[in-house]
Amino acid sequence: MAKNKNIVLGVTASIAIYKACDIVRTLMSEGFNVNVVMTKESTELIRPIVFQSLSGNKVYHGMFEVPETWEIEHISLASKADLILVAPATANIIGKVASGISDDLLTCVILATQAPVLFAPAMNEVMYKNKITQGNIKKLGSLGYKFIGPRCGRLACGKTGSGCLASVDEIVRAAIAAVK
């Protein structure tokens, strides 16, 4: 089913970033080709080489990297994507997209695509429930963007609450459904 389907996985700087490794593995086991686009901040948590090793593809993380072939990367990635999945999705990336801000490679890819976009939020419960974040989620939802999760669990601050990244299986099921 997933043969020749391309997923661009946007990875942002959430403590849940380590689960993105399992997302890559599981999507690939389902037959998807996965291209990872990391925000600059996310590269402080996991080095791009990890995702390159897992996906077998170049990892994109800089807006002004010298391309290996001549193509405008954000347009090329956006046009070949059957789905853009942002997991984990921070309040920052959700807010930037809701505001039309495209100041890094990931936001440029999202704003340049015609493919479905699926966000899997992961952040502190207070940030997730903040009226601004909820307003941004509502706005994006009204524009056709999809969201999955978050779930309740132990947060990075040590408290238990809503804001944990949805399970890898749940994210992958949502991704499969989005490309049907």
Query: 41: which 2 tokens?
Result: 């901040």
Q: What is the arithmetic mean of pLDDT over 71-87?
A: 82
Q: Is the pLDDT of residue 35 over 50?
A: yes
Quickly state the pLDDT bin for 74 (edges 50, 70, 90): low
Q: Pick the residue with more confidence: 156 or 48?
A: 48
Q: Is the pLDDT of residue 155 over 90?
A: no
Strand order in the sheet with 117-121: 33-38, 6-11, 83-89, 117-121, 146-147
Domains of the chain: 6-178 (3.40.50.1950)
In our burial notation (b when 16+ CB lie closer than 10 A, e otherwise), range 75-110 reads ebbbeebbbbbbbbbbbbbbbbbbeeebebbbbbbb
Residue 70 pLDDT: 45
The count of other CB atoms within 10 Å of the CB of residue 30 is: 16
Amino acid code (one letter) for 177? A
* Cα(146)–Cα(57) distance, integer angstroms: 26
Q: Which residues are catalytic?
A: 157
The greatest distance separating any two alpha carbons of the chain, rounded to the nearest whole angstrom, comes to 48
Residue 10 pLDDT: 97
CA dihedral sign, ordered 155, 142, 32, 50: negative
Write down the residue that tokens 């990391």 correspond to. 38
Predicted confidence (pLDDT) per residue in 81-117, tens digit: 999 999 999 999 999 999 999 999 999 999 999 999 9
Predicted confidence (pLDDT) per residue in 39-68, tens digit: 999 999 999 999 999 999 999 887 655 555
Predicted confidence (pLDDT) per residue in 115-142, tens digit: 999 999 999 888 999 999 999 999 999 9
